[in-house]
Amino acid sequence: MMLKLFAGLCLSFVIMSSVVPDTLAQSPYAYVSSDSITVGDRFGLILVVPRPAEAQIARPIFSAPNGASTIRFGDLIIFKRLSAGQVALASGDLPLADTLVYEAATFALDSAFVPPLRLRLVTNTDTVSVATTSFVFPVVSLTEEGMEDIVDITPIASFPPALWPWFLLIGIALAAYLIFRYRDRLRIEDDEEEEEEPEIPRDPPFVEAMQRFEAMEASGFSNEMVKEYFVELTDIVRVYLSRRIQIPALESTSTELLYHLKKWREETTDEAPLETKLAAILETADLAKFADSHPAEELSRKALSQSRELVEQIEEVVDELEQQALRREEELENADQTDEAVTEPELNDAELPAGTETDKVSENVS
């Protein structure tokens, strides 16, 4: 990965020190430093901006949100600016061009899209807006070389049938059966002699998640353990979601997990989008785990705080849903009891034997 990035930077420095062709000298353009970019690798995004001698590019070109260490631009993630320089143009109306190199990475599959980048050229008397042209470049998957086209197996060679494998198979099966019966008899005897130890009950999902969050806060943050820090953080969230709301969080990718959480929210509650907060957590964690990014300690602690808030928010929603279900069940039970109390006297009057009222009148007359 570093070799590809170094090659791209060398190419950009060659461009800075040479004369730019006239065909590309009149409009800004951008390109990547390598023609073979792998998912998660870092490479150079090179920006060339022709300009008049008295003009300057309005900065900053890329602006990160508050507290963020990276910038998302199309399918790219921009980390930092590596270099800046100027080159002279061979001909044309614009004599100079600024050349800027940024360190970037992408997690797109098959191809990555780079949108137009709008710039402002500022002079003493005027401001001109220009933009680069969007482009798409291929992204190489992580499949090992030589595995793209797997050759089919050769046909099975024909040999005369042999009987010894069958005898061997029967012998192995018989031996396995005898061993199984012997071990099963020992197990039954052990069960009769010893009482089974009771299983230790597992803590509820919310209690377990809070305990693991507190353990992370107590252990502190270390720059040498950034990857392990975010592996533990995302595992806490995934285990909680899997146990509490029964979505396939442990075996899902980040994109699939966001889809499952959004589907659950839309089916159960009107709560504000929970998946938006989860998306920010997963993006920071994926950069740390797969792109060798080292978020600042403040950003890492913020991800921990956001994870705790997300778990607490989902717990409140699930508790409310459970309370609503209990209230509906109690209302149904009360309604059934009321119906039984109303219909019982009516049944008693209807089942009164004939002649009972006549007998009562006769007794009173006597």
Taking residues 185-199, report their average pLDDT: 70
Q: What is residue 198's predicted lDDT score, i.e. its pLDDT?
A: 60
CB-based burial, 7-29: b 16+ in 10 Å, e otherwise? ebbebbeebbeeebeeeebeebb
Q: What would the pLDDT profile of 141-181 be if each residue is shown by its tens digit?
A: 776 565 556 666 777 777 777 888 888 999 999 999 999 99
DSSP β-ladder status, 42-51 and 56-57: unpaired
The rounded mean pLDDT for the chain is: 81
CA 3, 4, 7 angle in degrees (round to 5)? 85
Would the pLDDT of 13 be above 80? Answer: no
pTM of the model: 0.43
Would the pLDDT of 59 be above 90? Answer: no
Q: What would the pLDDT profile of 221-273 be if each residue is shown by its tens digit?
A: 888 888 899 999 999 999 999 999 999 999 999 999 999 999 988 888 776 67
Closest CA to 295 of 309, 311, 281: 281
Closest CA to 60 of 41, 76, 42, 84: 84
Taking residues 311-320, report their average pLDDT: 91
Query: Where is pLDDT greater, at 353 or 112?
Result: 112
Would the pLDDT of 78 be above 90? Answer: yes
Which residues sit opposite 29 in a β-bridge?
Answer: 48
- Look up tokens 């090179």; give the residue: 46
Q: What is residue 113's predicted lDDT score, i.e. its pLDDT?
A: 95
Strand (E) or helix (H) holding 364? helix 356-365
Return d(Cα 193, Cα 328) in angstroms, integer: 49
Strand order across the beta sheet in which 135-140 lies = 37-38, 135-140, 111-114
Query: Where is pLDDT greater, at 80 or 67?
Result: 80
Residue 204 pLDDT level (bands cut at 50, 70, 90): very high
Percent of the chain beyond pLDDT 70? 79
Percent of the chain beyond pLDDT 90? 34
Residues in contact with 237: Cβ distance below 8 Å, sequence separation at least 6, in sequence order: 209, 249, 278, 281, 307, 310, 311
Q: What is residue 94's predicted lDDT score, i.e. its pLDDT?
A: 76
